[in-house]
Structure 1
């Protein structure tokens, strides 16, 4: 190499630095690619994306190839720089060449190309994938040997699987949705997040409690039954005998009104028109129940406990409302109808309100891992049925019991203006 003209050595050094910059930039660009966008582009037939995706299927081989090429180039550049240093500056030229080459490599072959590649990964990765794929074929045996040795060290460290994984956990997917910003409208983000939350919510959280189910007693006077059918706010109504625990089935108002129009509506015809009951075990997660409704082609079910006792009623619409928000035909009153703001900043709240609905409507943080209603939460906290004018601090909120009747708390006053951090005991 000492016989090679200085000009050729300088040109060779510049070329090697450019190659080093290529390897450095390619490594950063390939590793900075958005794997989901890459998959999308590859599925659309983008050849650059297809090549990059194929290379990234084995990141150990790709990294091995790039590092082998980069190290070979840098070592050769160091040798040429040492010869040039000796020619220009004598013995001290070795130290000068080392210092200058380190600075040049750091700025021109490392920081600059890697920064550009991180900012524009697709522009760098897709074109460079052509050469990387060719080099992988040429240097394949050397890469294989290097990876074999590396795999041995990795096994010693407990690393067995070197293939890449693009799977996202639910929390990671939730972060992706949050960070989508203007790419996904706010209402769409809320729906996507609601879908992710379905497995955390059970049918008891959204069901209509048995005491609030609109139902027809088939043993009532026929005029009462007829009036209930005409005035029903729902398209499907539960039919029972004497007690709600002795349920018969569901009657679709369309069938009842058709019988009325033909003057054939009677108790016997009503019983013949009822549909078979569909039962849902309590504790069923909403995502499971949604799939069950679809599989069984049902839209409404009765929630029962482990003893088979009726607890409430859940519909397909209730589950969909958890995703898209309230419909106009909800089976329960909207939270805003149960929460009345007062001039002093407090709120009069019907104690039978569902705590999840109340928290969602008012952005409060009452606990939801226990009783489902505010009445139940207060009684559980006090361990007794309180008298009117009883005051307490519940989950950090000052609460006053306003009205108690029939062994139930009917109305409470919540004062969020005096809210403090939730206490551990509440």
Structure 2
């Protein structure tokens, strides 16, 4: 070492500091890479991504290799700094050299490269992988020995090194990822993805058409009444019942009914012959599961029943898909038949509107775990059927009762919150 000229020692120290920066930066870059982006790039054939992915299959070996190299170059740099200090200023300069080297390594070989690697991991991870892959093979015995003792120590502490935390995301974690995707996912697509995730939190009872609002065909009606019902309805599939809506015997397709009318007429036997078998759905079925059930059973309409088998309402595939894509309208206040805008700017809402639809249309967050309709929510809050003119606040939203009936609230007036004035 004494035969090496001083400029050579400084050059060697400079190289060692750069190697330390390489190990520190590449470690951060590889370990902080987005695993899903890495998997996608590897599947697309990116060679660097494939090597990094293989290295991350055994992170203990990778970390052992990086720390082995990093500690080696840091110790060598410390030894060189000591030799240089003795050459330049004697023993008194050793302390100064140690302090300067610590500062240099901290700035140039730790903080700076690791910060850069955090901001741009791909720029360091992929080139470094071409170095680590052959280096790991060359130093495998040493790395294996280090990992053997390290993993043994972890097992003594009750930690399984091979367990790992994995990269699987829970539903809520995936929701957070989608919500914070920003410009990477268009707002419309982001809303649809979040709606798909929310299907697990809602049941068919939340979006079904209640029994008392259903349009159906009674086989006991005469032909003119049946035609009038089919002509006036906005649905292509209607419940076919015998005397009472509680006694549904099938699902009638309007197109089939018109064909039967032209060929044979719409008498009771003919209606039964062309009707489809009713498809029953338990009220507590999650919307996501029901979407799969519709696909599996080749159905588009389901009759919702409670735990006792009583008929409660009807759910369609269209209603379910609208939970994902939203209503096919542009003005939120006009997206529902149950909501109308008054001349004074307030909104008139039907008490039968579902809480979920109201939340979606007005961007509210009324609770959906209790009553399913606005009428039910008001009755639960007041614990009585209110008189017209009664005012209240639901979750901070001013509401005035406009019309009531013996069995509940018919119409409410939703007063918009006043806009805050901003100073110029």
Paired with 2:226 and 2:47, the residues of 1 have a C-alpha distance of: 69
Counterparts of 1:2-401 in structure 2, within 5 Å, are 2-162=2-162, 163=164, 165-327=166-328, 336-401=336-401
Deviations 1:130-157 (A, max 9, x none): 1111121122122222222222333344
SS in structure 2 at match of 1:366: coil
- SS of the equivalent of 2:302 reads strand
CA contact (8 A) 2:154 2:161 kept: no
Kindly indicate whether the alpha-carbon contact (under 8 Å) linking 1:398 and 1:418 is maintained by their aligned counterparts in 2.
no
Deviation for aligned residue 1:26: 1.1
Q: CA deviation at 1:273?
A: 0.7
In terms of mean alpha carbon deviation, does 361-370 or 209-218 score higher?
Answer: 361-370
Deviation at residue 414 of structure 1 after TM alignment: 2.6
> SS of the counterpart of 1:365?
coil
TM-superposed deviation, 1:407: 1.9
Which portions of structure 1, spanning 4 or more consecutive aligned residues, are displaced by more than 6 angstroms?
none
Shift of 1:336: 3.9
Report how far residue 3 of structure 1 moved: 3.9
Indicate conservation of the 8 Å contact 2:24/2:70, yes or no: yes
Query: Which residue is equivalent to 1:423?
Result: none
Pick closer, same or farther for the CA change 1:117–1:394 going to 2, 3 Å. closer
Quick check: 139-148 or 53-62, which moved more?
Answer: 139-148
Flag structure 1 segments of 5+ consecutive residues without an equivalent: 420-426
Distance in 2 between residues matched to 1:164 and 1:389, nearest whole Å: 58
Report how far residue 109 of structure 1 moved: 1.8
Alpha-carbon distance in structure 2 between the residues aligned to 1:16 and 1:143: 21
Alignment check: 8 A CA contact 2:204 2:284 kept: yes
SS of the counterpart of 1:214?
A: coil
Residue 422 of structure 2 aligns with which residue? none
Change (3 A) 1:215 1:406: farther
CA distance in 2 between partners of 1:216 and 1:373 (Å):
26
Alpha-carbon distance change, 55 to 19 in structure 1, aligned in 2, over 3 angstroms: same
Q: What displacement does 1:211 show?
A: 0.5
TM-score (norm 2): 0.92
- The number of residue pairs the alignment matches comes to 415
In the TM superposition, residue 32 of structure 1 has moved relative to its aligned partner by: 2.5
SS for the counterpart of 1:387 is coil
For residue 67 of structure 1, report the CA deviation from its aligned partner.
0.7
1:201 positional shift: 0.9
Instruction: Find the residue that maps to 1:417 and give its secondary structure.
Output: coil
User: What is the deviation of 1:158?
Assistant: 4.0
Structure 2, unpaired ranges of 5+: 420-424
CA contact (8 A) 1:56 1:164 kept: no
State the 1:327 CA deviation.
4.1
Q: Secondary structure at the match of 2:404?
A: strand
8 Å CA contact retained: 2:264, 2:270: no
| Contact 2:280-2:303 within 8 A present in 1 as well | yes
Displacement of 1:394 after TM fit? 2.9
Deviations 1:339-362 (A, max 9, x none): 233455543221111111111111
Distance 1:312 1:418 in 2: 38
Q: Deviations over 1:346-384 (max 9, x none)?
A: 432211111111111112232211111111112222223
Q: Which moved more, 1:192-201 or 1:402-411?
A: 402-411
8 Å CA contact 1:9, 1:80 repeated in 2: yes
> What do residues 276-309 of structure 1 show as CA deviations (whole Å, max 9, x unaligned)?
0100001111001011111111111000001000
In 1, Cα distance between the equivalents of 2:138 and 2:296? 54
Query: For 1:224-263, what per-residue CA distance to the aligned partner results, in whole angstroms no more than 9, with x for missing partners?
Result: 1122223332111111011111111011111111112224
Separation in 2, partners of 1:402, 1:164:
56
